Amino acid sequence: MKADAVLLDSAVPLYAFGGPSVYQASCREVMRRIATDALEAYASVEMIQEFVHHRLLRTNDHVLVAADGHDLAEMIKLLDFDVSVLELSLDLMGRDPKVRGRDAVHAATALLYGIETIISPDPAFDGIGGIGRTDPRGITAL
C-alpha cells in the first residue's frame, strides 16, 4: 500500500452520482481524481454493495445501477471483506457506539490493510485510532 493511499467511503460516490448537495461538487472531484489515477483509492467489496443498494433505492433502475456498480468497481482497488475484517468491525462497534454497521466494515478494512486515511463526509470515522478522515470538501489537501 502506498503511503498516500486512501479508503473511499460509499458516501463519496453516492453524493457524486446523486442530486444536488453541498457535497456533490467535491465528491465529483474526488471521483475525477480517482478516474484519472491522481488519487489511489481502495474500498472493501462491501462498499460497492452499499453503493448499489442505496442507488437502487433512489432510482429503482436495476440496469443503470448495475452498470454504475461495475464502473465504480473498476475505478477502485477492491479489498476483501473476510473474517478478520468482520471480527475487527464488530470489535470497533462494541467500543464506539457511533461506529455502526458498514462504517465499521470500512474502518476495519482500512486498519487491516494499513490505510491511514478515509475520505468521507461522515464524522462517525473521527476518533477511530489509526485512521484519519478527510472530508471531501477538503480534497485539495490531498
Give the pLDDT confidence of 21-46 residue by residue, as tens digits: 999 999 999 999 999 999 999 999 99
Task: Give CA–CA dist 56/51, Å, rounded.
Answer: 9
Task: Give CA–CA dist 119/137, Å, rounded.
Answer: 10
Task: Give CA–CA dist 20/15, Å, rounded.
Answer: 8
Q: What does the pLDDT read at residue 56?
A: 94
Cell 474526488 -> residue: 30
Q: In the CATH scheme, what is the homologous superfamily, with its name and number, of domain 6-137? A: 5'-nuclease (3.40.50.1010)
Domain ranges of the chain: 6-137
Give the pLDDT confidence of 73-115 residue by residue, as tens digits: 999 999 999 999 999 999 999 998 888 889 999 999 999 999 9
Which strand (E) or helix (H) includes residue 70? helix 62-75
Of the pLDDT bands very low, low, confident and very high (cuts 50, 70, 90), residue 138 is confident
